[in-house]
């Protein structure tokens, strides 16, 4: 079956999208949610397990204080109310990666409810309502063997490693977001970006989407203007910020094509494919299993003491949005300039560079200029480029002290990025310091004049612009280590011409 | 009137991952019907405003410090496994990709 | 010398402590008794002969080295097969765990070892503690030493029968709806359900998490108290464990043994003192009430109007929790796997495994619980049962405003013949009519022998407020001192 998909413009001209996001965050605690097994990555299979996270008969869960605390902090950062009393619940379904065949989660009594997160989309503020933030446990990892691609389909058997089983997860669910129109994909991306920054500023998770410590499910539906919201699909496996945007867009287009052909949308789980940017059908939810939730009898209720919550609230760090606004003011930047810093992911780098003793202008110049260019060329993240904020600040210090010209500084930076050490060391090792000894410079100028008598005459005759060729000759003999401006002044002086 | 039909019992067996036989199904349907009619007596109690009790102890906030404790060795972890390979628990092919979290 | 198996635990500990007998001699005497009678009683599923003798030798060498010994050091104990024992078979009476050797010890077993007791082995039980006769064990029924053609009660029939058969002076049971007290009553032994949260559930294979309570079984009230003291108290591995010391049950048992109950107010539960029980049981109970009055107790009648709904509420709550607790028995990480022939899917193998591994009573309860938790039925069944549970707890609190403890017969009937009630599951459920309310409330209960009916033992139940376990020990010990021991005919 080949159908021509409608253009996105046509989709949004005809339909209104409603989106919603469910985000799972792996907390960076030392131990699992309900047992003392470590949460570190990369252990050999089934080496981070105990009777509790293996679900052995007789074992019992005990909740991790740090995980509860992190969840409350996330709730507070997302402007939620913290429940005065709540319980864990069991979500019952059979799957081999879940040792007990039920997941300990929260159901109708989440720890945090009714919050919001303000994000900006193209400079416009958008408030995303948060429905709930709750705690649960992760599952183990299943390896499908015998199939062509390591996928479940076609596999002849599966192998299960429970190292991840029981890692604390926080699930953050938005309320449905109507009214975003054509911007729905960007809104989804902006929300996940901002959420990631908030979580990172709280220090509760390493929020790496590629590694799965931040995972997104995207709900999408379409409706005609003035009509009820449509049937929604839930797209899973969305593993990058870019994919969040693409998943919403492609699902909107797909649904529009189904609806335009007179079809109806099936409530189902869909899987996003990074390579094609498409979603494909997963499990239909129309015959969804009944999870038979009930209060987890092995765990007693959580009733956070208001004093404790108040202490946690008082100790929250400045959240990214306010932090950025303050920096913009301190740095004296326009909205546009600030936006380009944000887009480059350079806020923290610039901040650290300034902290290491340089000016906002200089810090911005290096990170958005030379270093961003190199990052673009190599496809690396700015933060992983190989230069530290301290090195950049040191480099600028050498420029300020007149020891390096801008051009020399760029050369030094290249060697810094290549891992040759600190700017001062590279400058010394490679003998790149500005030639400021006037005697040596005068000799070089005289040599240049003597070697180019015709040009010298032109300059003497008033064609001052011709001096550039003499400057070039001097720079060549000094291997670029002279300050071009000084050289030019010296040439004009020796030739008796006013600059 | 029966409180539960044979079809419902068959559905419950599937939900409970029990491959019951036809013969068993008939017996179970009869027995569950008797039991359900008896336990349905709880409906006689007027309890609309009564809070439910899920726990027998009045405890809250029983929390553990985030300190690493010792794990089982992989040998111990896999010691009871009906089947294992590559230090993992081996299971037959999975039909239903029932992922939820 | 008198046979060592005839002594109480307190006496045996004394013999060992004074060096009048070694722990090895005591242990060997009980192992010999097991060899002699257990083929007829079938109280044990597994006897750990070597482990027991090792533990006994350890006690003897510690004594020889002059190390201090606990009050139960060197005393044998049998453990219901529902508690995990590292490296020792633990089956919960089910085929699905027939070959399982857990990689860890339950908290209770760890404490038993720390107390210097000698674990003889694991006792028979109804599969996953679901039953009242031990006939639902996958490994065959246990027989009542009073009359081998009769049931020993359940689910902990093995633990109680082992006491009545003098195979052990102490045993551990678990009580979800009466599984310690009811077998205690029908075997003429003492069975205690402590306050929920007073004994750790860590390593107790769960049937119904909010009700399951491990507890001590013995032939005397004092022995039960000594064992209770050894196993009880806060456990950080169990979130529902109460962070407070165990009430001084040993002192209470000693106080009660003086036979004086002056100043104690007891309430007879009106709803459990009339119909519903066999005439012989009621007669023995009334005689016991008179005895208690003679000992100085003031006995009044108390009404607990919602107790009549305890049984239906229990048979919704317990199966609901069990349907979830037993989901982990799927043939993936441990236990039986059936039908993995290379053609079947995991779903088919799981369903075949559970079908083959679970017995009929377990299947009934798993399905009943699945039903009660289903959306559409949740509110009317599980939800309503949890509200009734609140009302039952309120009946208890109201009653304890008037009296110190409540009393009733432990069971409506004496030990019935093997096979008499298996055809009609609900008839079996009635065995726990009087014991279930304490589980729903969470308070402690004890069954103590109070008389005979047609030559078979009758138990009296004392129920106390939560964390007032000591009260019921005092009453039970007083009654015990007045009515004397009930000894079964020789096997
Ligand atoms: Mg979830
Ligand atoms: Zn663990």
Domain ranges of chain C: 4-271+277-303+400-483
Which residues on neighbouring strands pair with residue A160, listed in sequence order? A142, B89
Of the residues C8, C21, C22, C80, which is catalytic? Answer: C80
- Cβ pair A100:C328 closer than 8 A: yes
Q: Which range of residues forms the domain containing residue A410?
A: 318-429
pLDDT (tens digit per residue) in A285-318: 545 678 999 999 999 999 999 999 999 999 999 9
What pLDDT score does A494 carry?
A: 84
What mean pLDDT do residues A456-475 have? Answer: 87
Q: Among A308, A335, A354, identify where a domain stops.
A: A308
Question: What is the C-alpha separation between C271 and A65, in angstroms, rounded?
Answer: 45
- Quick one: pLDDT at residue C1? 45
DSSP state for residue A77 in the 8-state scheme: H
ipTM: 0.97
Nearest Cα neighbor of A371 from A359, A387, A355 is A387
Q: Which residues of C touch B50 (CB under 8 A)?
A: 387, 390-391
Please name the chains neighbouring B, where neighbouring means 3+ C-beta pairs under 8 angstroms: A, C
The mean pLDDT value for C452-463 works out to 97
pLDDT at C332 over 60: yes
Q: In angstroms, rounded to a whole number, what is the distance separating the alpha carbons of residues C468 and C441?
A: 13
Whether residue A89 is found in the same domain as residue A211 = yes
Give the mean model confidence (pLDDT) for residues A59-74.
Answer: 98
Put simply, the answer to whether C347 touches A60 (Cβ < 8 Å) is: no
Is A173 within 8 Å of chain B by CB? no
Which ligand approaches the C-alpha of residue A107 most closely? 1
- Interval A459-482 mean pLDDT: 85
- Out of A145-159, A349-363, C168-182, C342-356, least confident range: A145-159
Contacts of C386 in chain B (CB under 8 A): 52-54
Quote the pLDDT of residue C2.
67
> Hey, is A415 helix, strand or coil?
helix
Range scoring the smallest mean pLDDT among A179-183, A280-284, C391-395: A280-284
Tell me which residues have their CB within 5 A of the ion that is ligand 2. A 35, 37, 50, 52-53
Q: Is the pLDDT score of A399 beyond 50?
A: yes
Domain boundary among A308, A331, A352: A308
- Same domain for A424 and A453, yes or no, is no
Is the pLDDT score of A18 beyond 60? Answer: yes
Question: Predicted confidence band at A463 (pLDDT cuts at 50, 70, 90)?
Answer: confident
Tell me: pLDDT of B83 over 50: yes
Does C344 touch chain B if contact means CB atoms closer than 8 Å?
yes
Q: Which residue among C137, C159, C179, C320 is the active-site one?
A: C179
Does residue C204 sit at the A interface (CB-CB below 8 Å)?
Answer: yes
Residue C260 pLDDT grade (very low, low, confident, very high; cuts 50, 70, 90): very high
Q: Are residues A330 and A289 in the same domain?
A: no
> What is the average per-residue pLDDT within B24-50?
95
Domain boundaries, chain B: 6-44
- C-alpha–C-alpha distance, residues A290 and A295, integer Å: 15
- Domain assignment present for residue A213? The answer is yes
In terms of domains, do A338 and A232 share one?
A: no
Cα(C131)–Cα(A177) distance, integer angstroms = 53
Average pLDDT estimate for A207-216: 92
Handedness of CA A198, A204, A208, A211 (dihedral sign): negative
Q: Is the pLDDT of residue C195 over 50?
A: yes
Residues A425 and A475 both lie in one domain: no
pLDDT value of residue B57: 93
Q: Is the minimum CB–CB distance between B5 and chain C shorter than 8 Å?
A: no
Kindly report, residue by residue over B36-45, the tens digit of the pLDDT.
Answer: 999 999 999 9
- Chain B interface mutation, best of C312, C323, C358, highest count of B Cβ atoms under 10 Å: C312
Q: Which of A128-132, A328-332, C214-218 has the lowest mean pLDDT?
A: A328-332
Q: Does residue A378 carry a pLDDT above 50?
A: yes
Least trusted range by pLDDT, from A151-155, A204-208, C304-308:
A151-155
d(CA A403, CA A411): 13
C92 and chain A: CB distance < 8 Å anywhere? yes
Q: Are residues A456 and A374 in the same domain?
A: no
**Is the CB of C7 inside 8 Å of chain B's CB atoms?**
no
**Chain A residues within 8 A of C100 when measuring between CB atoms:** 57
Indicate the pLDDT class of residue B101, thresholds 50, 70 and 90.
Answer: very low
Which has more confidence, A489 or C343? C343
**Claim to verify: residue A196 and residue A67 sit in the same structural domain:** yes
Q: What is the pLDDT of residues C3-58, one digit of tens each?
A: 999 999 999 999 999 999 999 999 999 999 999 999 999 999 999 999 999 999 99
A155: contact with B, CB 8 A cutoff? yes
Nearest chain C Cα to B95, which residue?
A: C345
Contacts of B89 in chain A (CB under 8 A): 46, 96, 159-162
Helix (H, G, I), strand (E, B) or coil at A398: helix
From the CA of A291, which ligand is nearest? 1
Q: What percent of chain B has pLDDT over 70?
A: 93
Q: Between chains, do C324 and A99 touch, taking CB under 8 Å as contact? A: no
Strands C118-123 and C76-80, bridge-based pairing? parallel
Whether pLDDT at C248 is above 90: yes
d(CA C51, CA A262): 74
pLDDT, averaged across chain A: 91
pLDDT at residue A252 is higher than 80: yes
- In C, minimum Cα distance to A154 occurs at C345
A192/C324 Cα distance (integer angstroms): 35
In whole numbers, what is the pLDDT of chain C averaged over residues? 97
Separation between Cα atoms, residue A456 and residue A443, nearest integer Å: 15
Q: What is the 3-state secondary structure (H, E, C) of A244-288?
A: HHHHHHHHHHHHHHHHHCCCCCCCEEEEECCCCCCEEEEEECCCC
Instruction: Answer whether B91 touches C (CB < 8 Å).
Output: yes
Please give the angle made by the CA atoms of A286, A288 and A293, to the nearest 5 degrees. 140
Q: Quick check: is C159 catalytic?
A: no
Query: Least CB-CB distance to C340: which of B42, B59, B92?
Result: B92
| Residue B98 pLDDT greater than 60, yes or no | no
Tell me, what DSSP letter sits at residue A356?
A: T
Q: What is the DSSP string of A156-171?
A: SEEEEE-TTTT-EEEE
Contacts of C345 in chain B (CB under 8 A): 92-95
On whether both A234 and A322 belong to a single domain, the answer is no
Ligand 1 centroid – CA A404 distance (Å): 56
Q: How many domains does chain A have?
A: 3
Q: What digits encode the pLDDT tens for the residues C341-383?
A: 999 999 999 999 999 999 999 999 999 999 999 989 999 999 9
The arrangement of secondary structure in B6-44, i.e. its CATH architecture, is: Orthogonal Bundle (1.10)
Segment B23-43 mean pLDDT: 95
Mean predicted confidence (pLDDT) in C179-191 = 98
Question: Whole-angstrom Cα distance, residue A393 to residue A402?
Answer: 14
What's the order of all strands across the beta sheet hosting C76-80? C44-47, C118-123, C76-80, C170-175, C213-218, C190-193, C445-453, C456-463, C405-409, C265-269, C298-302
- For residue B19, give the 3-state DSSP assignment: coil
The reply to whether A127 and A183 lie within a common domain is yes
Three-class secondary structure of residue A295 per DSSP: strand
Q: Which chain C residues have a beta carbon less than 8 Å from that of A90?
A: 324
Superfamily of domain C4-271+277-303+400-483: Amidase signature (AS) domain (3.90.1300.10)
- Per-residue model confidence (pLDDT) at position A1: 46
Judged by average pLDDT, the poorest of A181-190, A198-207, A334-343 is: A334-343
Residue A173, in any domain of the structure: yes
Lowest mean pLDDT across A367-371, B68-72, C213-217? A367-371
Closest to C78 (Cα-Cα) out of C194, C181, C168, C175: C168
Q: Residue B34: which residues within 8 A CB-CB, separation 6 or more?
A: C424, C425, C426
- Give B65's contacts in chain C (Cβ within 8 Å): none
- Nearest CB among C106, C203, C324 relative to A90 is that of C324
Residue of A nearest to B97 (CA): A283
pLDDT of residue A285: 53
Q: Is the pLDDT of residue B59 over 90?
A: yes
User: What percentage of chain A reaches a pLDDT higher than 70?
Assistant: 97
**Residue-level pLDDT at A149:** 66
Residue C80 known to be catalytic: yes
Q: Catalytic site residue C155?
A: yes
Same domain, A442 and A295: no
Residue of B66, B73, B80 lying closest to A64 (CB–CB): B66
- Search chain A and give the residue with CA nearest B12: A290
Is residue A1, in this structure, part of any structural domain at all? no
- Cβ contact, residue pair C332, B82, below 8 Å: yes
How big is the A-B interface in CB pairs under 8 Å? 152
Q: What pTM was computed for the model?
A: 0.90
- How confident is residue B1, by pLDDT bands cut at 50, 70 and 90? low
C129-181 pLDDT, tens digit per residue, is 999 999 999 999 999 999 999 999 999 999 999 999 999 999 999 999 999 99
């Amino acid at each position: 079956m080949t159908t021509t998909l409608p253009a996105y413009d046509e989709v949004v001209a005809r339909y209104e999208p409603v989106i919603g996001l469910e985000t799972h965050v792996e907390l960076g605690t030392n131990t699992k949610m309900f047992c003392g097994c470590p949460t570190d990555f990369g252990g050999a299979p089934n080496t981070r397990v105990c009777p509790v996270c293996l679900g052995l008969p007789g074992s019992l869960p005990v909740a991790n204080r740090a995980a509860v605390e992190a969840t409350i902090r996330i709730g507070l950062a997302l402007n939620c109310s913290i429940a005065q009393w709540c319980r864990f619940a069991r979500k019952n379904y059979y799957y081999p990666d879940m040792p007990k065949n039920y997941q300990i989660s929260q159901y109708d009594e989440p720890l945090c409810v009714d919050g919001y997160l303000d994000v900006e989309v193209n400079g416009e503020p958008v408030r995303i309502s948060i429905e709930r933030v709750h705690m649960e446990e992760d599952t183990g990892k299943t390896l499908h063997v015998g199939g062509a691609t390591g996928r479940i389909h076609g596999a002849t058997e599966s192998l299960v490693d429970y190292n991840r089983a029981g890692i604390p997860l926080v699930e953050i669910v938005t309320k449905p977001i109507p009214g975003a129109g054509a911007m729905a994909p960007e809104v989804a991306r902006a929300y996940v970006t901002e959420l990631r920054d908030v979580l990172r500023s709280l220090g509760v998770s390493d929020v790496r989407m590629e590694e799965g410590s931040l995972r997104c499910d995207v709900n999408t539906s379409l409706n005609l203007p003035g009509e009820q919201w449509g049937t929604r699909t839930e797209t899973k496996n969305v593993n990058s910020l870019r994919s969040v945007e693409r998943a919403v867009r492609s699902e909107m287009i797909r649904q529009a094509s189904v609806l335009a052909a007179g079809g109806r949308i099936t409530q189902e789980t869909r899987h996003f494919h990074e390579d094609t940017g498409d979603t494909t059908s997963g499990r239909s939810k129309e015959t969804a299993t009944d999870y038979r939730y009930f209060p987890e009898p092995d765990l007693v209720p959580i009733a956070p003491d208001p004093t404790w919550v108040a202490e946690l609230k008082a100790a929250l760090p400045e959240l990214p949005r306010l932090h950025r606004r303050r920096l913009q003011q301190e740095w004296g930047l326009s909205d546009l300039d600030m936006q380009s810093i944000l887009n480059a992911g350079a806020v923290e780098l610039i901040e650290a560079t300034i902290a290491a003793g340089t000016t906002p202008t200089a810090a911005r110049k290096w990170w958005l200029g030379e270093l961003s260019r190199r990052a673009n060329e190599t496809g690396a993240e700015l933060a992983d480029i190989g230069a530290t904020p301290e090195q950049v600040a040191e480099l600028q210090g050498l420029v300020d002290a007149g020891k390096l010209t801008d051009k020399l500084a760029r050369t030094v930076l290249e060697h810094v990025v290549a891992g040759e050490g600190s700017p001062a060391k590279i400058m010394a090792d490679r003998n790149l310091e500005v030639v400021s000894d006037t005697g040596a410079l005068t000799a070089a100028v005289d040599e240049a004049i003597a070697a180019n008598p015709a040009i010298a005459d032109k300059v003497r005759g008033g064609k001052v612009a011709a001096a550039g060729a003499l400057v070039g000759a001097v720079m060549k003999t000094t291997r670029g280590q002279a300050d071009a401006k000084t050289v030019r002044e010296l040439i004009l002086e020796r030739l008796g011409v006013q600059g | 009137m029966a409180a539960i039909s044979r079809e419902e019992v068959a559905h419950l067996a599937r939900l409970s991952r029990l491959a019951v036989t036809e013969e068993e199904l008939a017996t179970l349907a009869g027995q569950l019907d008797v039991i359900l009619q008896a336990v349905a007596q709880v409906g006689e109690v007027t309890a609309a405003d009564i809070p439910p009790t899920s726990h027998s102890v009045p405890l809250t906030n029983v929390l553990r410090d985030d300190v690493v404790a010792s794990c089982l060795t992989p040998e111990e972890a896999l010691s009871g496994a009906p089947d294992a390979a590559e230090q993992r628990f081996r299971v037959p092919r999975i039909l239903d990709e029932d992922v939820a979290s | 010398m008198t046979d060592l198996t005839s002594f109480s635990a307190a006496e045996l500990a004394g013999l060992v402590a004074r060096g009048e007998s070694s722990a090895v001699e005591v242990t060997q005497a009980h192992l010999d008794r097991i060899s002699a009678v257990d083929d007829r009683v079938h109280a044990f599923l597994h006897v750990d002969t070597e482990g027991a003798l090792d533990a006994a030798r350890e006690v003897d060498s510690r004594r020889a080295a002059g190390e201090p010994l606990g009050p139960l050091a060197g005393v044998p104990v049998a453990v219901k097969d529902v508690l995990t024992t590292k490296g020792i078979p633990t089956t919960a009476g089910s085929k699905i765990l027939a070959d399982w050797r857990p990689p860890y010890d339950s908290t209770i077993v760890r404490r038993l070892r720390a107390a210097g007791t000698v674990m003889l082995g694991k006792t028979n039980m109804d599969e996953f503690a679901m039953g009242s006769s031990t006939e639902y064990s996958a490994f065959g029924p246990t027989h009542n030493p009073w009359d081998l053609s009769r049931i020993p009660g359940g689910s902990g029939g093995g633990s109680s029968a082992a006491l009545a058969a003098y195979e052990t002076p102490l045993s551990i049971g678990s009580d979800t709806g009466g599984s310690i007290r009811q077998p205690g009553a029908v075997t003429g032994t003492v069975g205690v359900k402590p306050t929920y949260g007073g004994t750790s559930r860590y390593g107790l294979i769960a049937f119904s998490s909010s009700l399951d309570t491990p507890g001590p079984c013995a032939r005397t009230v004092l022995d039960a108290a000594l064992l209770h003291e050894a196993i009880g108290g806060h456990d950080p591995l169990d979130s529902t464990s109460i962070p407070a010391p165990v009430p001084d049950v040993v002192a209470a048992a000693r106080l009660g043994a003086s036979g004086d109950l002056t100043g104690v107010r007891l309430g007879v539960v009106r709803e459990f003192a009339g119909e519903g029980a066999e005439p012989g049981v009621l007669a023995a109970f009334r005689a016991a009430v008179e005895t208690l009055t003679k000992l100085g107790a003031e006995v009044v009648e108390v009404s607990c109007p919602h107790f009549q709904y305890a049984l239906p509420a229990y048979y919704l709550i317990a199966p609901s929790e069990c349907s979830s607790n037993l989901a982990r028995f799927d043939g993936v990480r441990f236990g039986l796997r059936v039908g993995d022939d290379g053609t079947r899917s995991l779903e088919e193998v799981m369903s075949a495994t559970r079908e083959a591994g679970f017995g009929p009573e377990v299947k009934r309860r798993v399905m009943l619980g699945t039903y009660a938790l289903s959306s559409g039925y949740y509110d009317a069944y599980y939800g309503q049962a949890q509200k009734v549970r609140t009302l039952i707890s309120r009946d208890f609190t109201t009653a304890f405003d008037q009296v110190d403890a409540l009393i009733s017969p432990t069971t409506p009937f004496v030990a019935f013949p093997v096979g008499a009630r298996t055809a009609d599951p609900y008839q079996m459920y009635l065995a726990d009519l009087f014991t279930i309310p304490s589980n729903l409330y969470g308070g402690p209960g004890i069954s103590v022998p109070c008389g005979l009916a047609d030559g078979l033992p009758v138990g009296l139940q004392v129920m106390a407020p939560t964390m007032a376990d000591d009260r019921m020990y005092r009453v039970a010990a007083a009654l015990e001192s007045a009515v004397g021991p009930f000894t079964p005919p020789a096997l």
